[in-house]
Structure 1
Amino acid sequence: MSGSRQMAESTSSGQQQAATPGPKKAGGKGLDAIYRSISEAIIEHRLKPGARLREDALADVFGISRTGIRKVLQRLALEQLVTLTPRRGASVTRPSVDEAKDVFEARQMVECALMEAAAKRITTADVEELREMAREERKALRSREQRVAIKLSATFHARLAEISGNRTLAEFVGQLCSRSSLILAVYGNPGHLGCESHDHDNLIELLAAGEGGKASDFMERHLKSIEASLSIFDEPEETPDLRDIFAFDA
């Protein structure tokens, strides 16, 4: 066999091997998608604060290796949505009273400061988007869908921060709002979010009118009223049925 023919056959064989995908477990997802699934389950309170997150169970649910799941949990831990404990594993973060106070203090400092910029940059399209978000939140509260309302409220505040134009602070507000969702899950009272249902509508109108200073003052009162509504109670630790929680994600 000539050298050129041997080279051609070798190249063809290599192409066939490269074109043949390796085995992939059914239901496998990318790490970003799994991160979003778990993050949303935490924020929506399908996974409650203190719930244990077993690596082997999550790996089985999402069809990936435990190494991949470990990377996702480490990412969630950096955002303080998950707590990693040596020899015990991962669990959904259960914020302490002091942490709750710190988060709301940080929110007041950052979100109030962004209202002036938001009032200058807000567009008619932004106003309509915010009004629709407020309507959906009120609808969820009327339907007693507490976890949905909490998620919508967090999304509303994160969107307000984005409108300010400061991407770095907007990302920080998004993280604070996610942590606030956990705080409301632990210390909040069922049936309301610690604020009047029309608070977000009032904020929208102030921003639409270009009243940045008044919007800042209103935001401070709004956040303080949420914090003042929190009450401390103990919630038992649980090991959730991960396959049931992520039935539609895996």
Structure 2
Amino acid sequence: MNQRQVVTERKSRAGSGMGKDGDGAKRHEAIYLSISDAIIEHRLKPGARLREDALADVFGVSRTGIRKILQRLALEQLVTLTPRRGASVTRPTADEARDVFEARQMIECGLMLNVARRASRDDIKVLRDIAQREREALRSGERSAAIKLSAEFHGRLASISGNAVLSNFVEGLCSRSSLILAVYGNAGHLGCESHDHDDLIGLLENREGDKAQIFMGNHLKAIEASLSIREDEDELPDLYQVFAG
């Protein structure tokens, strides 16, 4: 039995009775997470084309459903939609990567004084929980989960500042950073020491906003310095093989 037959048989057993247009929101969410993880884990490389018909066949859903999922991924800038060419995995350039981290330096460092002043015990507890789950994901080799948890940590920090506009902007920058890290980062870590987030939490808990501001700047510089950026050719991956597991 070849790869496509294996996927088709599994799909038939899991989705019998649903049909291509009756999968529902839960099924679409699972597909969204599968594609997102494949991008972040670099099983789908930057520039890889994502054909709607092939994805619909792989996952056993309608092309309309796949189109909505790709549009959601495009909003998060993990996927690029091009007229007459379709969808492809977003390929951040070196200039875009630098711009993203420069913006993060300006905003996240600037928020640290307010974060240190406003952080409650509950906020500190939540931050420690996220940092712990991030470390566990890294130890377990779950790089996709670790990258997402790192983005969640920075987004949570920004929300504590009390500035909703800047918090939303940071979340968008973290989403773009996740792809940059997935594409250009090193497999073993996220560009920073595993204890960085814990050290930062300690400064915030002690209301040391000035030190937290400096620490955040060095933290983001370390992540950017770890990136290894190179340009690759666009590819047309075998989507059956990517999502066979």
TM-score range, shorter-chain basis? 0.7 to 0.9
What is the correspondence of 1:134-153 to structure 2 with a 5 Å cutoff? 134-153=131-150
1:100 alignment partner, SS class: helix
Give every structure 1 segment of 4 or more consecutive aligned residues whose post-TM-superposition deviation is greater than 6 Å: none
Which residue of the partner structure matches residue 185 of structure 2? 188
Once residues 95 and 101 of structure 1 are traced to their aligned partners in structure 2, the CA distance between those partners, rounded to angstroms, is: 10
Which residue of the partner structure matches residue 205 of structure 1? 202
Once residues 43 and 100 of structure 2 are traced to their aligned partners in structure 1, the CA distance between those partners, rounded to angstroms, is: 22
The alignment of Structure 1 onto Structure 2 pairs a total of residues equal to 226
Q: 1:213 to 1:171 in 2, by over 3 A?
A: same
1:222 alignment partner, SS class: helix
Which residue of the partner structure matches residue 220 of structure 1? 217
Confirm or deny: 8 A CA contact 2:36 2:78 kept in the other structure. Answer: yes
Which runs of 5 or more structure 1 residues have no equivalent in the other structure? 1-22
Which runs of 5 or more structure 2 residues have no equivalent in the other structure? 1-17
Q: 1:173 to 1:32 in 2, by over 3 A?
A: farther
Matched, 1:114 2:111: yes
Confirm or deny: 8 A CA contact 2:158 2:167 kept in the other structure. Answer: yes
TM-score, normalised with respect to structure 1: 0.77
> Which of 139, 158, 176 is matched with 1:161 structurally?
158
2:183 alignment partner, SS class: helix
Task: Give 1:161 shift.
Answer: 1.3
> Which of 28, 34, 51 is matched with 2:23 structurally?
28
Task: Give 1:145 shift.
Answer: 3.1
TM-score, normalised with respect to structure 2: 0.78
Cα RMSD after superposing both structures: 2.8
Task: Give 1:87 shift.
Answer: 2.6
Confirm or deny: 8 A CA contact 1:112 1:216 kept in the other structure. Answer: yes
Task: Give 1:185 shift.
Answer: 2.0
Confirm or deny: 8 A CA contact 1:44 1:150 kept in the other structure. Answer: no
Which residue of the partner structure matches residue 8 of structure 2? none
Confirm or deny: 8 A CA contact 1:45 1:147 kept in the other structure. Answer: no
Q: 1:44 to 1:168 in 2, by over 3 A?
A: farther
Once residues 70 and 143 of structure 1 are traced to their aligned partners in structure 2, the CA distance between those partners, rounded to angstroms, is: 33
Percent identical pairs in the alignment equals 69
2:24 alignment partner, SS class: coil
Aligned-partner residue type, residue 102 of structure 1: D
Give CA-to-partner distance per residue, 1:165-211, whole Å, 9 cap, x none: 22232222122112111111222122122112211011101111112
Once residues 113 and 28 of structure 2 are traced to their aligned partners in structure 1, the CA distance between those partners, rounded to angstroms, is: 34
